[in-house]
């Protein structure tokens, strides 16, 4: 009887193990298209916490949005996570995003940045474009630009760098923000034409833009504030200037409407994980000196001490309902008239 009982126990245990293995093998992988410095760290932590196999496809925002658009009829992703809300709004308008309202204790800014239709979720916020100064090139603070219009003056001819909005996530919201500040698309185009006439240098992303600044190829750069602050923290001779106004840059995450119901459920779990205590800790430490330099949108979370208080800045919100549908045409115009 003892032998028979032992055999029964072994059979039952084997069945349980095989069942767990089959369940794990049957779990559908969650594919995350992301342009966030700590996206891989977040994906690994989520997989460890939930057992859900997670694959992060990391890239720049522009190419990822193009990839999503190309896959419209056969999406290969479950989550999209990028800087900026305008691209997300354009995708939502095409019915490519599944609405989801996560549970979160939003602070005032966090509540303000969430879209009413829950097409995507804002998970963090930074500044789309500030002026980063090379203090070795401009050691006299009186020579620093303090307004956006300063960048169009002869003193800065050929000395200003910026990112390409067709590639860099923070840059279209900054370009659109300048147009909004000027009063509209046509007025904004006239301002950017002044920058072109003043020989603005356009680089792909923050990396080459700020590398050129550090090498003295340029004297100032328009860049996401976190990128400038991060390089200053690492010893670069940089200072960050916040003209009036600066545009808020929400970090947004969304679920594919074309994904299977199982993947959509996994995606909802991932978003909740990002907003959890554990997820926020990873976000604030996973890319120190880079994308971890953001203002949190959850009550009780504190930003890095190197960041300015948002309340101390004159900020504007670039409404994605207005500027999302305009992204393709504005970026195309910028490519043809400013980049080339």
If DSSP states are collapsed to H, E and C, what string results for 92-146? HHCCCEECCCCCCCECHHHHHHCCCCCCCEEEEEEECCEEEEECCCCCCHHHCCC
Q: pLDDT digit string (tens) for 67-121? A: 999 999 999 999 999 999 999 999 999 999 999 999 999 999 999 999 999 999 9
Fold match, 2-124+251-308 / 130-247+324-339: yes
Residue 136 scores a pLDDT above 80: yes
Residue 23 scores a pLDDT above 80: no
SS3 content of the chain, % helix, strand, coil (to 5): 45, 20, 35
Is the Cα dihedral 247, 148, 329, 227 positive or negative?
negative
Backbone angles phi, psi at 288, to 5 degrees: -55, 135
Instruction: Say what the pLDDT of residue 111 is.
Output: 97
Written out in words, the top-level CATH class of the domain with range 130-247+324-339 is alpha beta
What DSSP letter does each residue of 173-211 carry, written as one string? Answer: HHHHHHHHHHTSHHHHHHHHHHHHHTT-EEESSHHHHHH
- Confidence band of 166 (pLDDT split at 50, 70, 90): very high
Q: What is the mean pLDDT of the chain?
A: 92
Instruction: Say what the pLDDT of residue 7 is.
Output: 44
List the domain boundaries for the chain: 2-124+251-308, 130-247+324-339
Instruction: Say what the pLDDT of residue 26 is.
Output: 56
Distance, C-alpha 258 to centroid of its chain:
22
184: left (phi over 0), alpha (psi -120 to 50) or beta: left
Q: pLDDT digit string (tens) for 198-251? A: 999 999 999 999 999 999 999 999 999 999 999 999 999 999 999 999 999 999
Q: Does the domain at residues 2-124+251-308 carry the CATH identifier 3.60.150.10?
A: no
Helix axes 261-275, 277-285, angle to 10 degrees: 70
Residue 192 scores a pLDDT above 60: yes
């Amino acid at each position: 009887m003892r032998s028979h009982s032992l055999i029964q126990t072994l059979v039952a245990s084997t069945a349980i193990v095989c069942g767990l293995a089959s369940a794990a093998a049957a779990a559908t992988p969650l594919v995350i298209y992301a342009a966030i410095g700590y996206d891989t760290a977040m994906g690994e932590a989520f997989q460890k916490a939930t057992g859900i196999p997670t694959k992060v496809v990391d890239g720049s925002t522009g190419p990822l949005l193009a990839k999503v658009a190309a896959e419209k009829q056969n999406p290969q992703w479950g989550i999209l996570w990028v800087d900026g809300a305008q691209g997300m709004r354009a995708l939502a308008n095409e019915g490519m995003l599944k609405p989801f309202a996560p549970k979160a204790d939003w602070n005032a800014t966090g509540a303000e940045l969430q879209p009413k239709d829950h097409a995507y979720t804002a998970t963090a916020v930074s500044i789309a474009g500030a002026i980063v100064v090379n203090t070795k090139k401009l050691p006299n603070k009186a020579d620093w630009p303090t307004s956006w219009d300063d960048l169009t003056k002869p003193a800065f001819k050929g000395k200003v760098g910026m990112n390409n909005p067709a590639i860099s996530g923070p840059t279209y919201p900054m370009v659109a923000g300048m147009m909004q500040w000027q009063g509209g698309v046509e007025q904004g185009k006239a301002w950017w034409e002044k920058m072109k006439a003043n020989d603005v240098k356009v680089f792909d992303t923050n990396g080459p833009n700020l590398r050129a600044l550090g090498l003295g190829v340029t004297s100032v750069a328009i860049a996401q504030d976190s990128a400038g602050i991060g390089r200053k923290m690492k010893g670069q001779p940089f200072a960050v200037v916040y003209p009036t106004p600066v545009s808020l840059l929400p970090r947004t995450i969304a679920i594919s409407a074309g994904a299977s119901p199982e993947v959509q459920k996994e995606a909802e779990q991932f978003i909740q994980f990002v907003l959890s205590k554990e997820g926020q800790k990873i976000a604030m430490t996973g890319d120190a000196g880079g994308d971890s330099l953001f203002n949190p949108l959850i009550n009780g979370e504190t930003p890095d001490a190197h960041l300015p208080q948002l309340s101390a800045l004159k900020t504007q919100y670039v409404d994605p309902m207005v500027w999302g549908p305009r992204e393709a045409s504005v970026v195309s115009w910028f490519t043809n008239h400013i980049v080339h």
